């Protein structure tokens, strides 16, 4: 949903109503659950890009060392 800038400024200055805060909390919880599920589906390497890069570098080095 898109709100006008004046409405966004009003909400920033006056805060959210209790119902709006609950809805925002629900959306944040759903997003966190979706991210957790995605990480579980991707497994260990999907959750840690640094490790995935290190594994790929090690694998390519091993492959090149066998060529002589």
In this predicted structure, what is the pLDDT of residue 39? 94
Helix (H) or strand (E) holding 47, with range, is helix 18-47
Structural domain tally of the chain?
A: 1
- Per-residue pLDDT at 62 exceeds 60: no
Q: Which residues contact 52 (CB under 8 A, 6 or more apart)?
A: 45, 46
Domain around 16: 5-25+36-65
The Cα 7–Cα 28 span in angstroms is 22
Q: What is the pTM of this model?
A: 0.45
In this predicted structure, what is the pLDDT of residue 27? 94
Token couple for 38:
């995605």
Q: Per the domain annotation, does 30 fall within a domain?
A: no
Nearest in space to 8 (alpha carbons), one of 16, 25, 68, 35: 16
Q: Per the domain annotation, does 9 fall within a domain?
A: yes
In this predicted structure, what is the pLDDT of residue 68? 45
pLDDT digits (tens, 9 = 90+) for 13-60: 888 888 988 999 999 999 999 999 999 999 866 555 666 566 666 665
């Amino acid at each position: 949903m898109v709100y006008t800038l004046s409405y966004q400024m009003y909400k920033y200055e006056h805060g959210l109503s209790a119902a709006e805060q609950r809805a925002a909390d629900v959306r944040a919880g759903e997003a966190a659950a979706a991210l957790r599920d995605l990480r579980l589906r991707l497994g260990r390497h999907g959750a840690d890009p640094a490790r995935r890069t290190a594994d790929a570098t090690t694998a390519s080095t091993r492959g090149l060392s066998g060529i002589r």
